[in-house]
Amino acid sequence: MEPSVKQAHDELLAAMPPGARHAGCPICGTEGITHAQEVARVTDTRKYSQEEHEAILTDAVRREVASATETKDSRISELEQQLDVLESEKAALEQAKSDAEKAFEDYKADQERQREVAERKDARVTAIKEVTAHDLPDSYFTDERVTRWAEMAEEDFEALVESQAEASVAALTSEEAKELAGLEGDARRAKLVEVIGKRKESANDQGTPPAERETAAFSGGVIPSSRENADDGTQPTHLSTWLNRRAAQG
């Protein structure tokens, strides 16, 4: 109990007017105490009326309540500030957790994408080679170019292969072109791959050094086996035109 409360209680008890009773007091725990009963440490012998007694008691209670309320409000304010700090720390931790989870998911997605790209590289190089009328040097298939092909969407890469196939069709001899007559879509593509395969096998059987074929192809020289083109009165086909177009697309 606060000393000020006990002191006020004792002083008021000592100043009780005649006939007043002090019953059911939670401080002294007794009943039936009269104004004549002595209280320790009380030196004020002034006698108060019932109204004065009640007013003084009411004021003391008001001051104690106000003090207790101020202490309570101060503690509540302190706790609210601590709560705000904890809420802020919680939000920061949750954001950090969310960022970490997103970074991990992005990392896994990137790893999966790289795996898929690596798996597509060989298949897409083969697809380009199959529809290219002449052997291309290994130096053409740089990692940067092959990676770019592998990263392309399926429909975009298919458009690139189709463009390369059409360039190769333009480079066929008249006899080779006849084999594609009336064919469309996948059937035409399959026949083109077959014709190109025969052409490359024939060139290899004739013993033409690959280096010479590649040099002719990439220097704008005449396509090997283009004598048949010349026989039908057309100009020999040069690779410089369609290779430049293909390089710009690929």
Structural domain range at position 45:
3-74
Is 244 among the domain residues?
Answer: yes
Distance CA 250, CA 241 (A): 14
For residues 69 and 144, state if they share a domain.
no
For residues 137 and 230, state if they share a domain.
yes
3-state secondary structure of 33: strand
For residues 160 and 62, state if they share a domain.
no
Residues 6 or more apart whose CB falls under 8 angstroms from that of 50 comprise: 17, 20
For residues 156 and 244, state if they share a domain.
yes
Domain boundary among 28, 52, 74: 74
Q: What pLDDT is attached to residue 205?
A: 66
For residues 65 and 146, state if they share a domain.
no
Q: What pLDDT is attached to residue 169?
A: 87
Domain boundary among 29, 48, 74: 74
Q: What pLDDT is attached to residue 85?
A: 93
Is 43 among the domain residues?
Answer: yes
- Give pTM, 2 decimals: 0.43
Residues 6 or more apart whose CB falls under 8 angstroms from that of 228 comprise: 173, 174, 175
Q: What pLDDT is attached to residue 206?
A: 65
Q: What pLDDT is attached to residue 238?
A: 42
Q: What pLDDT is attached to residue 237?
A: 40
Is 12 among the domain residues?
Answer: yes
Domain boundary among 58, 74, 90: 74
3-state secondary structure of 238: strand
For residues 41 and 150, state if they share a domain.
no
For residues 68 and 141, state if they share a domain.
no
For residues 39 and 147, state if they share a domain.
no
List the pLDDT tens digit at each of the 250 positions of the chain.
Answer: 556 667 777 777 777 777 777 666 767 655 444 444 444 455 556 677 888 778 888 888 888 888 888 888 898 999 999 999 999 999 999 999 999 999 999 999 999 988 988 889 999 999 999 888 887 888 999 999 999 999 999 999 999 999 988 888 888 888 888 888 888 888 888 888 888 888 888 777 665 554 444 444 433 333 333 333 333 444 434 444 544 555 555 5
Q: Is 174 in contact with 228 (CB distance < 8 Å)?
A: yes
For residues 239 and 138, state if they share a domain.
yes
For residues 39 and 140, state if they share a domain.
no
For residues 144 and 237, state if they share a domain.
yes
**CA distances for 230 relative to 99, 142, 174, 223, angstroms:** 67, 34, 10, 11
Distance CA 227, CA 202 (A): 14
Residue with tokens 């000592």: 14
Is 158 among the domain residues?
Answer: yes
Reference 223, options 127, 136, 125; nearest CA is 136
Q: What pLDDT is attached to residue 180?
A: 82
Is 103 among the domain residues?
Answer: no
Structural domains of the chain, count: 2
For residues 34 and 143, state if they share a domain.
no
Distance CA 163, CA 141 (A): 18
